[in-house]
Amino acid sequence: MDDMDGLTTAAHLASGDMTVREVVEAAIERCEARNPALNAVIHDAFDRSLDRADAIRPGSTPLAGVPILTKDLLCREAGLPFHEGSAFLKSIGWTGPDDQVNAVRLREAGMVSIGRTNCSEFGMQTSTEPLAYGPTHNPWKPGHSPGGSSGGSAAAVAAGIVPIATGNDVGGSIRNPASMCGLVGLKPSRGRSNLGPDFGDVMLGMAEEHVITRTVRDSAAALDVLARSGPTDPYHQPMPGAGWLAAIDAPVEPMKIGFLVPPEADEPVAAATRAVAEALDARGHDVSEDGPPALGEDIRSFLLPNYSAGTAWVVDRHWPTLTGVDAIPEDLLEPTTAFLAARGRALSAADLLEAREHGQHWSRRLLAWWADGGYDLLVLPTLPVPPPAHGETDDLQMLSYVAPFNYSGQPAASVPAAMHDGLPIGVQLVAPLYREDLIFAAALQLESDLPRPEAPPAPA
């Protein structure tokens, strides 16, 4: 049962082969057996999930009855611990007072959350090693990072605990762990996911929520659940009339695709990127080694002010207001968070607006490559290196190929491409704004064409 994706699980439930309770009980058993070696799930909701399982009608939606996990960041659930990787929030035992919109949508779709997953502090590091809960281990090779900040979700899905887990991405936090754990991780276009009731956007529009999955079609089905604009949302975008899951079954027209192999990428990563380009070329797409010149520019001058201002707001305003404290104690902040918050406090409003202006001009140059060149997709590495050991992650290095598309707002996904020394390597597909359908179409072809190991070793 643990090798089935979400849609296959739901189909078996709809046919009566299994009951929702049986499926949820099996997921709980896997979590109890495998999580101690992974430290991926930090809060369980086993009793509540079994209560909810009995009320679900299989077949009522494409994913009805599928057990999932939710990342302990943004996607809060009423009555469950909600700590965002923070030692401070853990110390006061903060609990979610209500449901985030996406938690409601997942539940309305009949999906059953069995617990919450580990993440880095406030999602601001590219490995999941928070002081509050300790490191999550990569199921392919314990002692190595599963990525971050959605590392707990990725490790749990890769280990077969559940087929789908939520994540969010402000600088690769879905794509990074998907790459490191051999999974599919899409960051949707800006505004696709609903960050209510608290937020219209996060980190000045750089954050999106979605899921990490083993299959492309599960990612598309979950996007049908989560990406529904409402009259009170700050962004409204075109969506496929029949939905993304239906769209991936349509015939695929040849696409114009560019690919980049940055010189600083490790050779195993470079080889995986070339393999993806060759596979797409063999499918009849027009593939050439080309990419946006803007990706060669240093974007730290406007990227870091966004992260710094956002972190300062989270640390100094958002959480103190919610928890009723004057300030989060400095000794309960990790060094990266404290550093970013200090930088944010030093920014003036004019500094931030100046950085935004530079960033928007850069985004126009970036997007022009797709618009002026008629390109449908860009293929490039998700990360410059294979998964590092715990304690060896370079955050700036890990942001280099993923964060640009948080800033531009484009959809981008990491798909499994290769294995090296027992660890997965993902390659990234990037489309024009609102064209997730192009990513799904290419990713589905690659899922069929590239060799992939079935599962990581069982946790010891």
Output the CA–CA distances (angstroms, integers) from residue 34 to 71, 229, 266, 421, in the order listed: 18, 37, 31, 22
Structure tokens at 218: 């599960």
412-420 vs 423-430, strand pairing mode: antiparallel
CA 371 to mean position of chain CA atoms: 26
H helix runs in 39-174, sequence order:
46-53, 87-91, 101-108, 151-158
71 as an active site residue: the answer is: yes
41-44 vs 67-71, strand pairing mode: unpaired
C-alpha gyration radius of the chain: 20
Structure tokens at 62: 């494409």
- Beta strand extents in 24-121 (DSSP E only): 41-44, 67-71, 112-117
CA 441 to mean position of chain CA atoms: 19
149 as an active site residue: the answer is: yes
Three-state DSSP class for 416?
A: strand
187 as an active site residue: the answer is: no
Residue of 49, 113, 173, 193 marked active site: 173
Structure tokens at 446: 């690659």
Residue of 113, 145, 149, 150 marked active site: 149
DSSP symbols for 178-245: HHHHT-EEEEPPTTSS--TTT-S-STTTT-EEEEEESSHHHHHHHHHHH----TT-S------TT-HH
Three-state DSSP class for 443?
A: helix
CB–CB of 452/446 below 8 Å? no
The catalytic residues are 71, 149, 173
